[in-house]
């Protein structure tokens, strides 16, 4: 059923696609105007998607369901894209550099495209899952995921920039990037931001599991992979703080952590069988 919230999310998809084109075109054309337009489009997407989430929430109450719109695959995808966009805009504002958009916003766009292939209906939760722990669990997890997305995108930028700096080559697309030291710092700071939220997501998820199924931890595939993701980023922070890991090794570990995050988020839910499966 195509309701207002779905139309608004479709518009958000179009906005993310247009912003992605603008950011990439800026890298190749080196016209700052294109990047500024990309920023304004991302701001518009933030407004439209926020309104869409509110409308979907209100529509669920009108249907007599009354639940937060983050409980199925479609809703989790659009909420993930919304989180990534907001975190990206904060990073762009703080670092005053728009090249990040070419490596982060396409991820939000791809997420929304995937959402278009998913069933968008609003359905009631089974009684066992009707808990306020759901709100805390999902929101904290996705804030962490958004931070890890930015970290991975910047890590790719770092690897490209560092290679050019080693070769003492200036100019070109990479010449627009911040210096590698700034990129390396942002990879770290994004994970520093996301890790506590991931930790909170796992803790609230355990509390929710105990409420729903009577056990805090059952080694469900989702729980296991959440722990794997946590361990990867914990290893990153440990290596950074105690052993001074910087540069290429840290960037590669950030990208590996993001790959594990995506599998935890989508691969486990769509491929493996468990309590968190999105299968029909």
Are 275 and 220 spatial neighbours (Cβ–Cβ below 8 Å)? yes
Residues 145 and 76 in one domain: no
Residues 249 and 180 in one domain: yes
Residues 48 and 146 in one domain: no
Burial of 267 (0-12, 13-18, 19+ CB in 10 A): middle
Residue 255: band (very low, low, confident or very high) from pLDDT cuts 50, 70, 90 = very high
Domains contained in the chain, number: 2
Helix axes 101-116, 4-29, angle to 10 degrees: 150
Residues 140 and 228 in one domain: yes
Last-in-domain residue among 100, 125, 150: 125
Last-in-domain residue among 125, 155, 171: 125
> Is the dihedral angle over the CA atoms 267, 271, 277, 280 positive or is it negative?
positive
Residues 155 and 235 in one domain: yes
Residues 105 and 132 in one domain: no
Q: Residue 279: is its pLDDT beyond 90?
A: no
Range of the structural domain that residue 50 is part of: 1-125
In angstroms, rounded to a whole number, what is the distance separating the alpha carbons of residues 15 and 41?
Answer: 6
pLDDT tens for each residue of 73-93: 899 999 999 999 999 999 999
For residue 171, the Cα-to-chain-centroid distance in whole angstroms is 30
Residues 180 and 161 in one domain: yes
Of 41, 44, 49, 177, residue with least CA distance to 112:
49
Last-in-domain residue among 105, 125, 145: 125
pLDDT at 125: 75
Residues 151 and 62 in one domain: no
pTM greater than 0.85 (yes/no)? yes
Q: Residue 280: is its pLDDT beyond 50?
A: no
Per-position b or e across 207-218, b if 16+ CB within 10 A of its CB: ebbebbeeeeee
In angstroms, rounded to a whole number, what is the distance separating the alpha carbons of residues 91 and 114?
Answer: 25
Residues 158 and 256 in one domain: yes
Work out the average pLDDT over 259-266. 91
Q: Residue 152: is its pLDDT beyond 50?
A: yes
pLDDT tens for each residue of 195-231: 999 999 999 988 887 877 778 878 888 888 899 999 9
Residues 45 and 150 in one domain: no
Residues 70 and 92 in one domain: yes
Residues 16 and 151 in one domain: no
Phi-psi category of residue 247: left, alpha or beta, with phi > 0 → left and psi -120 to 50 → alpha: left
Are 186 and 94 spatial neighbours (Cβ–Cβ below 8 Å)? no
């Amino acid at each position: 059923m195509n309701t207002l919230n779905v139309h608004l999310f479709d518009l958000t998809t179009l906005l993310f696609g247009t912003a992605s084109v603008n950011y990439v075109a800026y890298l190749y054309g080196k016209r700052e105007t294109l990047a500024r337009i990309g920023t304004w489009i991302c701001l518009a997407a933030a407004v439209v998607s926020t309104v869409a989430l509110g409308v979907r929430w209100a529509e669920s109450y009108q249907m007599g369901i009354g639940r937060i719109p983050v409980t199925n695959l479609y809703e989790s995808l659009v909420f993930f894209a919304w989180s990534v966009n907001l975190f990206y805009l904060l990073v762009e504002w703080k670092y005053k550099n728009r090249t990040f958009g070419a490596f982060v916003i396409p991820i939000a766009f791809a997420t929304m495209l995937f959402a278009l292939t998913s069933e968008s209906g609003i359905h009631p939760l089974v009684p066992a899952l009707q808990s306020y722990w759901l709100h805390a669990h999902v929101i904290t997890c996705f804030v962490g995921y958004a931070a890890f997305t930015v970290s991975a995108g910047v890590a790719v930028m770092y690897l490209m920039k560092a290679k050019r700096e080693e070769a003492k080559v200036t100019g070109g697309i990479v010449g627009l990037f911040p210096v590698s030291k700034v990129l390396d710092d942002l990879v770290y700071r994004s994970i520093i931001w996301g890790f506590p939220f991931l930790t909170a997501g796992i803790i609230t998820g355990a509390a929710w599991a105990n409420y729903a199924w009577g056990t805090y931890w059952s080694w469900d595939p989702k729980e296991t992979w959440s722990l794997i993701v946590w361990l990867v980023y914990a290893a990153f922070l440990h290596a950074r703080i105690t052993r001074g890991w910087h540069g290429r090794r840290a960037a590669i570990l950030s990208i590996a952590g993001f790959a594990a995050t995506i599998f935890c988020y989508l691969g486990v839910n769509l491929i493996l069988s468990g309590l968190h499966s999105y299968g029909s």
